[in-house]
Amino acid sequence: MCYTRNVSVKLISLNCWCGRALEPLLTFVREASATTDIFCFQEVLMLHSGTCAATPDMCPDLYARLAGELPGFQGFYVPMQAGYGPTRKSVCDISFGEAIFMRKGLAVGRYGDHFVYRERNGLKEGERLNFMPRTVQFVEFVAHGTRYTVCNFHGLATWPKDDTPERLSQSRLLAAFLATINGAKVLCGDFNIAPDTESIRIVGQGMYNLVQDSGVITTRSTLSEFAYSEISDYIFVSPDVAIRSFELPAVEVSDHLPLVLEFS
């Protein structure tokens, strides 16, 4: 289908891997920003005060670094857990969370987040980081006369990525939240759930699963130990969203591939 900028919206969803491949990631974001309207990022660290040195597994001020590449965008950040990086407790004043960047000029309405596993900062001392709290971030906006809600999600990260009582509960709460949203909606992110699960069926009820419907065989890059063998990321859209294009470009900016959707 012909792509016309003034009647479509382009969205990129990407797990940023906490900035481990920082320079390629920032280059990708900067170059993509010319034709992208919305970025939904998972695994984003925010440095709230002081200084903190980067380490091989994280860029502590990743949110600020992303924002620096996106001056024409309005940023929204939601923390899930304070005081932790991706693999361990941190001595720095950081939080682990999700971010949405909206191109300035989009008419933004409500925004916020809704927890579907535990509560903010609910990780207890000594618990594995896999059981970090999980929230769905959302931003409502109007484009070309249509009201949309974009939801950004990073799910419970236990292995294997099959149904568990925690995942099933998370999915039911996520689906219940989506049911409260009126109008067109897009749900994207790193769900950490295998495709052939009840958890994914619960989330996708009444929506189109673009990853499965498109025959995608992996959403992981060659930087991942699961390269070519795992689907973890998804985009779901309600039936009133017109899909113009959907792709996963093979770029090495994270251990996940970016999911790129154009819709109207």
Pairwise CA distance, residues 135 & 154, whole Å: 7
Q: At what angle do helices 22-32 and 62-69 cross, to 10 degrees?
A: 30
Task: Name the residue range of residue 59's domain.
Answer: 5-263
Q: Determine the 3-state secondary structure of 174 from DSSP.
A: helix
Q: What is the CATH number of the domain that holds 93?
A: 3.60.10.10
**pLDDT of the residue at 245:** 98
**pLDDT of the residue at 225:** 85
Pairwise CA distance, residues 34 & 150, whole Å: 20
Q: Beta partners for 44?
A: 97
Local confidence pLDDT in tens for the 264 residues of the chain: 233 344 799 999 999 999 999 999 999 999 999 999 999 999 999 999 999 999 999 999 999 999 999 999 999 999 999 999 998 999 999 999 999 999 999 999 999 999 999 999 999 988 999 999 999 999 999 998 999 999 999 999 999 999 999 999 999 999 999 999 999 999 999 999 999 999 999 999 999 999 999 999 999 999 998 876 799 999 999 999 999 999 999 999 999 999 999 999
Total count of domains within the chain: 1
Extract the runs of DSSP E, i.e. beta strands, from the chain: 9-15, 38-49, 73-82, 93-103, 107-117, 134-143, 146-154, 184-190, 208-209, 233-237, 243-247, 259-263
